[in-house]
């Protein structure tokens, strides 16, 4: 039988758990999402649509597109549409906005990226 954990040892264990806490998309803010882009890999537990936007936010449009083109959801179609709009392929962008039940926005690409991330962080499909 092991000795009981003392209060100090228990507190240190709790601090370790908290310091290693990894937010999921359900409790992640856009600020935390943006900060995560300084890391080598996307955060654990986010949706594939958010992973695509994470790569795009890091400047890797190709990786973002590889992920987005295989997503069968409306959120995936929305990300795919955004990527084609960013690329300048309006015809393809319109096609994917239609698949996502969205219209091509008149806001900047940067604002659209933030809006999609914000929506998907709080209302994943």
Residue with tokens 């300048």: 88
Residue 3 lies in a domain: no
Q: What is the CATH number of the domain that holds 114?
A: 1.25.40
Residue 26 lies in a domain: no
Residue 22 lies in a domain: no
SS (H, E, C) 79-117: HHHHHHHHHCCHHHHHHHHHHCCCCCCCCCHHHHHHHHH
Domains contained in the chain, number: 1
Residue 93 lies in a domain: yes
Please, are residues 5 and 89 in contact by the beta-carbon 8 Å criterion? no
Rounded to whole angstroms, how far apart are CA atoms 110 and 53?
11
Fill in the DSSP letter of residue 73.
S
User: Digits of tens for pLDDT over the chain (125 positions)?
Assistant: 444 444 444 444 444 434 444 444 456 889 999 999 999 999 988 999 999 999 999 999 999 999 999 999 999 999 999 999 999 999 999 999 999 999 999 999 999 999 999 999 986 54
What was the pLDDT predicted at 63?
A: 97
Residue 5 lies in a domain: no
Residue 57 lies in a domain: yes
What was the pLDDT predicted at 13?
A: 40
Residue with tokens 């409306």: 74
* Domain coverage including residue 88: 39-122
For 51, half-sphere exposure in the C-beta direction (CA atoms, 13 angstrom radius) is: 16
């Amino acid at each position: 039988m092991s000795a009981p954990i003392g209060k100090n040892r228990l507190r240190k264990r709790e601090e370790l758990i908290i310091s290693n806490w990894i937010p999921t998309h359900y409790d992640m803010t856009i600020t935390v999402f943006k900060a995560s882009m300084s890391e080598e890999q996307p955060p654990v537990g986010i949706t594939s649509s958010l992973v695509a936007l994470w790569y795009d936010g890091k400047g890797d449009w190709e990786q973002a597109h590889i992920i987005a083109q295989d997503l069968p959801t409306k959120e995936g179609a929305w990300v795919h549409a955004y990527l084609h709009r960013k690329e300048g392929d309006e015809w393809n962008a319109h096609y994917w906005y239609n698949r996502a039940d969205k219209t091509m926005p008149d806001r900047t690409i940067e604002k659209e990226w933030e809006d999609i991330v914000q929506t998907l962080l709080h209302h994943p499909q």
